[in-house]
């Protein structure tokens, strides 16, 4: 989501209570599981998108003991036998398969609309225009660079006197350059929306990519410079000149990146909350016409502004004034071309994909219809979602899912009294926060309107710009108004979920409420292991290292006593140290501080869901696929995370993503849980039994 200051905590990309150990008999022996033969990977076209069951014995690797490496044990046969489709950088048994199925359904909907079957479908004509123009590759190729010429010309009107107007014109059409302005809830008054200034405008994944000097990062740097060079050549510069311009733009971006806040500090809301009025912003960063810029963006100069990254904004005027004007123009051209290359003719699209390959290892670009489905979902998601919901869960699926969420929340309430490190004063406020959480399931209570979005048949580039401008105007129109607590920040077909600390809400779109995460016919123990863990994960985000700093109303305030905060921090450091020791690829360690929030959420999520399962008479007595209910629960959890990914993508995620790789999202939390050890009769000293277990909630 493009505009929020605090990243909403999503399952892509819990809290652990001190559960009492108990003596139990070893689980009954299960029928032996045949080890699946190693198969030759099939071509991408043969990958099956059939809905996976919650627990599947055929994907288990019997040769790897459960207590040695549960991820490999639960997923090993699937990992060996499942190729990564050529058009993907990673492939999971859950997210990827569901996403492909959802796209097929969305494609069918859009093809119906394109065949003029728009009667009764809100904004059906607009969606048909957007999809149809995107699908017309020959028309896109014929136009070459022409659609972008107006934007490039606007960048070249830049003078020292009109910098603010020029940036506003580009920002208003979704072109990132130098910084970004959007709305955010006031951190100290979550009922009110204010403006938010963010750092931005670089082409590498994040700031550290400009300064890390290991061999793999240098390859990515070289690929990005080559990408810039290709784009400038395609834009009409001679090869030598394109190479020179690309090198200069790269160095300018490196200078921009130097004062940027790093990825660890960006996770700290205390560091990213700096509310001020326009006069203070102008005092912080003099020399830029902030008043002119706000007027051009149609934002009142009287509204408060949060400066998320003070150091960067403070350094910005010097960059804007000291860099040679021709270089700044080239930088703006680079921002336009890199932002829109995939929407231009094939040579530009090819250049964008070559850079993507260097980052992710993806072999081929997605087939055109998938990209166009994605465009409509990104641009008009709540219009496309209406027929999608009608053809999938429908509104009738909400009640059963809501009951699962309530059972997870009951687990959290049940364990709060047992936390010896939490004092009564803080505990009472924790109860308040859990009970105040708002749960949103399947779809928004009110659909977003796309009135005023002007789209044209046959004008793909223009439609993309129009959709960007429409959404940017919608976002900025929120500034100075009350927070809309009914708004969703994901499209209902998305295979994801999130917790928003500033509204204290959890959202579970229809897209994720499908097998293997959830199915009404699954054993309840399997549903709780898969989607129940997701629910517990999102709930725990309200109490992770970031979320715990917000109260029941979503305000950034210290509601913890010093002793209680100390107890939390000591336990969180255990998790940091645990994940710092994991090495997913080559010599690249997981960054325990970057991934702390997600690791805490995984740890708490599985623990809360397990408690809910054991508290449910039906779930705690019924297993699946010949396993005990407890084993079923853990298999369903692990098998929903089975993932193959290309080495390039794994490196990218480890360096930039706050989520740990799939293997460690399974083995990391489970190795801390006595419940897992009991379910599989693991013994001290085995890899899945941590001697000094980490426990928070």
Whole-angstrom distance, CA of residue 496 vs CA of residue 517: 11
Task: Quote the CA–CA distance of 228 and 571 in Å, as a whole number.
Answer: 46
CB-based contact 173:465 (threshold 8 Å): yes
Helices vs strands, H then E, count in the chain: 26, 10
Q: Are 127 and 376 in contact (CB under 8 A)?
A: yes
Residue 500, H or E segment = strand 498-500
Q: With contact defined as beta carbons under 8 Å apart, do 197 and 204 qualify?
A: no
DSSP per-residue letters across 396-436? GGHHHHHHHHHHHHHHHHHHGGG-TTS-HHHHHHHHHHHHH
500 included as an active-site residue: no
Give SS3 for 355: helix
Cross-strand partners of 180: 198
Token pair recorded at residue 607: 């623990």
Two structure tokens written together for 319: 């960059």
| b/e map 450-479, b = 16+ CB within 10 Å | beebebeeebbbbbbbbbbbbbbebbbebb
Task: Answer yes or no: are the C-beta atoms of 165 and 288 closer than 8 Å.
Answer: no
What length is written for the chain? 697
Calpha distance 247→228 (Å, rounded): 8
Residue 150 near residue 407 (C-beta atoms within 8 A)? no
Report H helices in 82-123. Answer: 95-114
Tell me how far apart the alpha carbons of residues 456 and 131 are, in angstroms, rounded to a whole number. 11
Which helix H or strand E contains 116, and what residues bound it?
Answer: none
The widest CA-to-CA distance across the chain, in whole angstroms, is: 78
Token pair listed for 464? 């993309």
Q: In the numeric block, which tokens belong to residue 468?
A: 């960007």
Q: Please give the helix or strand (H or E) that residue 126 lies within, else none.
A: helix 124-135
Gap between the Cα atoms of 667 and 671, Å rounded: 6
Beta bridge mates, 440: 507
d(CA 574, CA 567): 11
Structure tokens at 524: 């309840």
Distant-in-sequence, close-in-space partners of 587: CB < 8 Å, separation ≥ 6:
none
Q: Which of 61, 494, 538, 675 is catalytic?
A: 538
Q: What is d(CA 270, CA 273) in angstroms, rounded to the nearest whole number?
A: 6
Torsion of Cα atoms, 293 then 298 then 301 then 307, to 10°: -60
What is d(CA 541, CA 600) in angstroms, rounded to the nearest whole number? 8
H helix runs in 298-345, sequence order = 310-322, 325-340
Q: Give first-to-last CA distance, the chain, whole Å.
A: 29
Q: How far apart are CA 566 and CA 562, in angstroms?
A: 6
Strands 305-307 and 189-199, by their bridges, are parallel
Tokens 């100075």 label which residue?
Answer: 480
What residues have CB less than 8 Å from 538, skipping those under 6 apart?
9, 11, 497, 498, 499, 506, 508, 601, 605
Q: Which of 198, 602, 650, 675 is catalytic?
A: 602
Hey, what are 252's tokens? 């300018």
DSSP lists the bridge partners of residue 185 as 193
The yes-or-no answer on residue 366 being catalytic is no
Residue that the structure tokens 């379910």 belong to? 679
**Residues tagged active-site:** 538, 602
């Amino acid at each position: 989501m493009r505009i929020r200051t605090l990243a909403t905590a999503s399952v892509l990309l819990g809290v652990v209570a001190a559960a009492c150990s108990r003596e139990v008999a070893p689980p009954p022996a299960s029928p032996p599981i045949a080890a699946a033969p190693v198969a030759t990977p099939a071509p991408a076209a043969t990958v099956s998108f059939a809905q996976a069951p919650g627990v599947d014995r055929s994907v288990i690797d019997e040769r790897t003991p459960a207590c040695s490496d549960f991820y490999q044990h639960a997923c090993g046969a699937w990992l060996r036998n499942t190729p990564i489709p050529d058009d993907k950088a990673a492939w999971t048994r859950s997210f990827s398969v569901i996403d492909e199925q959802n796209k097929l359904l969305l494609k069918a909907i859009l093809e119906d609309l394109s065949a003029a079957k728009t009667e009764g479908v809100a904004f059906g004509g607009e969606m048909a225009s957007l999809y149809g123009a995107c699908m017309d590759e020959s028309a896109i190729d014929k136009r070459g660079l022409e659609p972008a010429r107006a934007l490039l010309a606007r960048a070249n009107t830049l003078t020292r006197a009109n910098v603010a107007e020029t940036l506003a014109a580009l920002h208003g059409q979704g072109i990132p350059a130098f910084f970004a302005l959007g709305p955010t809830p006031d951190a100290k008054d979550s009922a009110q929306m204010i403006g938010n200034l963010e750092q931005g405008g670089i082409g590498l994944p994040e700031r550290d990519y400009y300064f890390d000097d290991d061999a793999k990062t240098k390859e990515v740097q070289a690929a990005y410079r080559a990408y810039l060079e290709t784009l400038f050549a395609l834009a009409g510069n001679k090869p030598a000149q394109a190479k020179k311009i690309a090198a200069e733009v790269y160095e300018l971006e490196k200078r921009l990146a130097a004062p940027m806040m790093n990825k660890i500090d960006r996770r700290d809301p205390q560091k990213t909350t700096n509310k001020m009025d326009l006069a203070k912003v102008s005092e912080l960063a003099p020399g830029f016409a902030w008043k002119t810029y706000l007027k051009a963006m149609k934002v009142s100069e009287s509204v408060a502004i949060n400066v998320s990254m003070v150091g960067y904004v403070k350094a910005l005027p010097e960059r804007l004034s000291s860099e040679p004007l021709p270089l700044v123009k080239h930088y703006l051209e680079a921002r336009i071309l890199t932002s829109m290359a995939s929407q231009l003719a094939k040579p530009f699209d090819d250049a964008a994909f070559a850079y993507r390959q260097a980052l992710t290892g993806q072999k081929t670009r997605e087939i055109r219809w998938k990209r166009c489905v994605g465009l409509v979902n990104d641009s008009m998601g709540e219009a496309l979602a209406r027929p999608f919901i009608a053809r999938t869960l429908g509104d009738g699926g909400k009640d059963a899912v809501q009951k699962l969420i309530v059972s997870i929340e009951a687990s959290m309430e049940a364990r709060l009294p047992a936390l010896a490190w939490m004092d009564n004063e803080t505990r009472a406020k924790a109860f308040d926060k859990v009970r105040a959480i708002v749960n949103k399931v399947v779809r928004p209570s009110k659909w977003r309107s796309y009135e005023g979005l002007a789209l044209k048949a046959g004008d793909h580039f223009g439609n993309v710009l129009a959709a960007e401008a429409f959404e940017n105007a919608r976002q900025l129109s929120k500034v100075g108004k009350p927070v809309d607590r009914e708004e969703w920040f994901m499209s209902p077909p998305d295979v994801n979920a999130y917790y928003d600390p500033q509204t204290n809400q959890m959202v579970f779109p229809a897209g994720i409420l499908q097998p293997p995460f959830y199915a009404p016919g699954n054993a309840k123990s399997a549903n709780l292991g898969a989607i129940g863990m997701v629910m517990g994960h999102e709930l725990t985000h309200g109490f992770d290292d970031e979320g715990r700093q917000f109260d029941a109303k979503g305000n950034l305030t210290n509601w913890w006593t010093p002793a209680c905060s100390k107890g939390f921090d000591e336990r969180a450091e255990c998790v940091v140290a645990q994940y710092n020791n994991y090495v997913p690829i080559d010599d690249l360690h997981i960054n325990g501080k970057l991934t702390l929030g997600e690791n805490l959420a995984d740890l708490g999520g599985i623990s809360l869901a397990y408690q809910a399962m054991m508290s449910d008479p039906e779930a705690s007595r019924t297993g699946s696929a010949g396993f005990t209910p407890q084993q079923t629960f853990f298999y369903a959890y692990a098998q929903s995370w089975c993932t193959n990914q290309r080495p390039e993508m794994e490196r990218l995620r480890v360096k930039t993503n706050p989520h740990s790789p799939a293997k460690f999202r399974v083995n990391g939390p489970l190795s801390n849980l006595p419940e897992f050890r009991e379910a599989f009769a693991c013994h001290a000293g085995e890899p899945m039994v941590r001697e000094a277990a980490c426990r928070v909630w």
